[in-house]
A and B are shown apart, each in its own frame.
Chain A
Amino acid sequence: MENEHNVHRFEGESEADFLLRTALDVAALTLRSGGEIHRVEETIQRICAAFGAEHTEVFAIHSQIIASVRMKDGAYSSQVRRIYESDNRFARLDRINQISRSLCLGKMTLEEAQEEIARAKGITPYPVWMLPIASALGAGGLSFLFGAGIRDALCAGLVGFLVTLLGLLIPKNGNVFLEMVLRSFAIGVLSRALVMIGAGQDAGKIIIGAIMLLVPGVSFGNAMRDLLGGDTLSGTLGIVRSILLAASIAFGLFVATAVTGGAVL
């Protein structure tokens, strides 16, 4: 769920309001695209400063941005942006970073930035059909790190391919934890089935390779970095979320174990 984005200036919208709305649009898209908390906060500070703000305050966590700006003429604006979902989408992050830079260097007006933000939202560098193939490469390649041989690596790649394909076909219901349970359940059952038919040798190694696609390793690492970097609240929330996601994955595999009637790991 994304906040509604209006590229035009509202009638009667003050300069301070429009400036902060645009800065928050840039920052929110940065956060939704996998940008770091410090980048989000600095982006708002820099854009506001570039457009004549005298004082800017920002507080950001992964699910919310709160900012206020005071212009030199005393005009004041304070706005909140709720972030419902975020994902690593680095081509989009790259584009939004360019927009931010252009704004700060005075090469783009706020109105132009709004048009560019709307365009940046649609950036997808690869067609959807490439995702299952990429998942197969990711799962198969990394399974070697956990001791998989060539047969198990191929099986992990196949499971990664099928589970991602399944994820694309099933409509999202918005609950990421339920989605993780279902996907990890599918990984458990498929891995076990591949071993049962003789394609794979070790279901555990196939599973660990395939669940690398699901485990919140990157967000766990980012959360730890936020924590060590001084963003205590953001880091703590990130770690809690990572642990809950890992628990969802473990639960899905646990159910798969019960269904297939054997230890899957």
Chain B
Amino acid sequence: MIDFLILFAAVMVGTLGFAVIFGVQPKHLAPATLLGGLTYAVFYLVDLLTPDLFLSNLAAAFFAGVAAFALAVWYRTPAVTFSALAVIPLVPGGALYSMMYGLIADDSARFREQGGVALRVGLGIAAGIVFSSTVIGLIRPHLHRFGTPKKAGRGENGK
């Protein structure tokens, strides 16, 4: 539990840093940072249940996509503002780098192994985001039945 809390805090700090680098509006910093931490929490929990990297990343990215949409509607801003940051703790940066390092260092075993990891994680994240977009597209026409959030907009919000 302590390990998880340390990682959760570290991910929040890291996401905050990236939020500033990506030029997120100051009023969006807190929700974007929290979403990064929660997305990692989902990944961590699913990873405990299954060792499959694809599934754990898919679940976390799906959560990130849905939560980013909700925040985007609330704050009347493009969903990518939140979703791009939320998946940063998931991105296979280390594996992608290690794969190419294997190629340059003529280490084909490393290239294959890390390439497979990068592909599985990348596909998991992408599938999670696409799946969340599909679900949102299906339920969106029915959302008005439950009322409109205080700052909610229509049109291009939350795409």
Chain A residues close to B by CB (< 8 Å): 34-36, 38-39, 42-43, 46, 88-94, 97-98, 100-101, 104-105, 123-126, 130-131, 133-146, 153, 208, 211-213, 215-218, 220-222, 224-225, 227-229, 242-243, 246-247, 249-251, 253-254, 265
Contacts and interface: CB of A to CB of B under 8 A. Distances in A.
A144 B103 CA distance: 26
A247 B7 contact: no
Contacts, number: 196
A91 B21 CA distance: 11
A211 B122 CA distance: 18
Interface of B: 6-7, 10-26, 28, 76-78, 80-81, 84, 87-89, 91-94, 96-101, 103-105, 118, 122-123, 125-127, 129-130, 133, 153, 155-157, 159
20 contacts: A46-B155, A90-B22, A90-B78, A91-B23, A91-B24, A91-B25, A94-B28, A97-B156, A124-B23, A134-B17, A134-B21, A137-B20, A140-B10, A141-B10, A141-B12, A212-B14, A217-B88, A224-B125, A225-B129, A227-B126
B77 A215 contact: no
Helix, strand, loop or mixed for chain B's interface? helix
A35 to B, nearest CB: 7
Contact of B16 (A137, A216, A249): A137
A74 B88 CA distance: 47
Contacts of A208: 93-94, 97
A60 to B, nearest CB: 14
Contacts of A38: 159
A213 B159 CA distance: 26
Contacts of B93: 208, 211-212, 215, 217
